Amino acid sequence: MRPNRHGRHAKVAHADDAPLTLTGKRKWHKLDLICRSGAGLVPMAPAICRTLREIVGADAASVFWLDHESKPAGVFHESASDSALDLFVNEYERLFMGPGEINVSQIAGTPGRPIGRLLNPQPEYLRSNTLNLLVRPSGHYHALDMRVDVEGRPRAVVLLFREERRPFGDSDAFKLAQAIPYLRRAIETSGPDDGWEGSGLRGHLLVDRAGERLLMLDQQGHVLLRACTLVGQDIRIASAPTHPPRFARVLCERLETSAVAHLSFDISLGRLQATANRIYPPDGRSEPQALISLEVQRSKPLKIIETLLDLPLSPLQRSIALDAALGGSRAGSLTSSGVGPEALKKHLAVIYRTTGVNSWDQLARHFT
């Protein structure tokens, strides 16, 4: 078992355990690396969805992350229409919580088997807003659902989709269920704060003192807000915004007692940093305003994983190299890899030769 960043151990089947083709093993190994990266579930959602879609053989995938009440806090969907996403994040309780709705909250809160509730849905589902306002408008017909629990509490729901002629079956459900330990690790494992780097994606919005009126929004700021598919932030995805997101009010409240205010959110693009500064109009008479700068930071581990997958190393050797790249110790790698000192020495010899380094410390620096 490999310890996560909190010191707990999570047993995850190694990619080589499954009787798969070489291509299939590589996909499971990629999922393993993604989920042990320490970036968390949300910033890795696009990579996770893509990998699960390829493993199961679906047309599209989505991940919903949940709040402490097991209600959706946000969503990433590979191919949903803007209008469907807009309805989900802004009208969830009004449109998708009524009688007959099989929604994300119900999937998350249903005890027992964590997968396959939508394999044979109830007739009410065919008349539901969930199907007719979200699933069908995004070009989907069949859905395969999976709940991910951590310490007995639902933390995420995964949905895979296919067209009408390709229904999901029990074999698909079995295959998807193998991903639960991986996603659980992604949720449990948190990496260092320095595991992020600037992406060059920056935008700005100008709001009134209370953060209730939108005075200006530049084009890049609009793009970044549309990427915030977060439930309850009052961010319009399918149309031009007419008012600030709700987090603007929080920032403005903090500016009443601080010169600068900060908030950060995990979104599917990475980590969104929002920084607010008080500014004063040049006429000297108007109310002060707040300039909110938005910047997306990208996960460093994702770049490292992409590099590792291109190296001629075994899955175990890539996992060892990732431990080094993420700041782990050589001694700790003995525990996480499950091999003895002599075997680790042999694996490291191959890794050093492949990467052109001579020590564990050099290996760690090689990927920075």
Please check whether residues 154 and 215 belong to one and the same domain. no
Instruction: Give residue 338's pLDDT.
Output: 83
Whether residue 91 contacts residue 104, with contact meaning beta carbons closer than 8 Å, is answered with no
For residues 218 and 326, membership in a common domain is answered with no
- Dihedral (CA of 166, 170, 174, 179) sign: positive
Question: What pLDDT score was predicted for residue 196?
Answer: 85
Q: Same structural domain for residues 136 and 266?
A: no
- Is 281 found in the same domain as 147? no
- Give the total number of structural domains in the chain: 3
Position 265 scores a pLDDT of 92
Above 50 in pLDDT, residue 20? no
Alpha carbon 32 to chain centroid, angstroms? 14
Q: 107 and 34, same structural domain?
A: yes
Secondary structure letter of residue 230 according to DSSP:
B
The residue that leads in pLDDT, 208 or 199, is: 208
Residues 98 and 246 in one domain: no
Calculate mean pLDDT across residues 332-346: 88
Q: pLDDT value at position 34?
A: 92
345: enclosing H helix or E strand: helix 341-355
Phi then psi dihedrals of residue 31, to 5 deg: -60, -40
**Does residue 16 surpass a pLDDT of 90?**
no
Please give the pLDDT value at position 125.
85
Looking at the structure, do residues 41 and 181 belong to the same domain, yes or no? yes
More confident call, 10 vs 344 = 344
Are residues 48 and 171 both part of a single domain? yes
Say what the pLDDT of residue 343 is. 93
Instruction: Calculate mean pLDDT across residues 11-18.
Output: 35
Mean pLDDT of 102-127: 89
**Does residue 112 lie within any of the structural domains?**
yes
What would the pLDDT profile of 256-302 be if each residue is shown by its tens digit?
Answer: 999 999 999 999 999 999 999 999 988 777 789 999 999 999 988 88
303 part of a folded domain: no
The confidence band for 23, taking pLDDT boundaries of 50, 70 and 90, is low
pLDDT at 244: 97
**Mean pLDDT along residues 123-130:** 87
Please say if the pLDDT value at position 9 is more than 70. no
The pLDDT value given to residue 193: 67
Confidence band, pLDDT 50/70/90 cuts, at residue 175: very high
H/E run at residue 157: strand 153-162
DSSP 205-264: EEEETTS-SEEEE-HHHHHHHHT--BTTS---SSS--SS--THHHHHHHHHTT-SEEEEE
Q: How confident is the model at residue 191 (pLDDT cuts 50, 70, 90)?
A: low
Last residue of a domain, one of 129, 156, 188: 188
Residues of the chain with pLDDT > 70, as a percent, come to 92
122 close to 99: Cβ distance less than 8 angstroms: no
Tokens of 211: 């953060």
User: Residue 328 — very low, low, confident or very high, per pLDDT cuts 50/70/90?
Assistant: confident
Do 84 and 38 share a domain, yes or no? yes
Task: Say how far residue 68 (Cα) sits from the centre of its chain.
Answer: 17
Q: How confident is the model at residue 255 (pLDDT cuts 50, 70, 90)?
A: very high
Residue 270 lies inside a defined structural domain of this protein: yes
- Compute the mean pLDDT over every residue in the chain, rounded to the nearest whole number: 88
Q: What tokens does 318 get?
A: 């890539």
The parent domain of residue 291 ranges over: 196-298
Helix-then-strand count for the chain, H and E: 15, 11
* Residue with the two structure tokens 């890795």: 44
For 26-85, the pLDDT digits (tens) are: 899 999 999 988 889 999 999 999 999 999 999 999 999 999 888 999 999 999 999 999
Give the C-alpha separation, 228 to 217, whole Å: 15
Contact 190, 278 (CB under 8 A): no
- pLDDT bracket for residue 5 (50, 70, 90): very low
Q: Are residues 175 and 66 in the same domain?
A: yes
Q: Which residues pair with 208 in a beta bridge?
A: 289
Residue 182 belongs to some domain of the structure: yes
pTM, two decimals, is 0.85
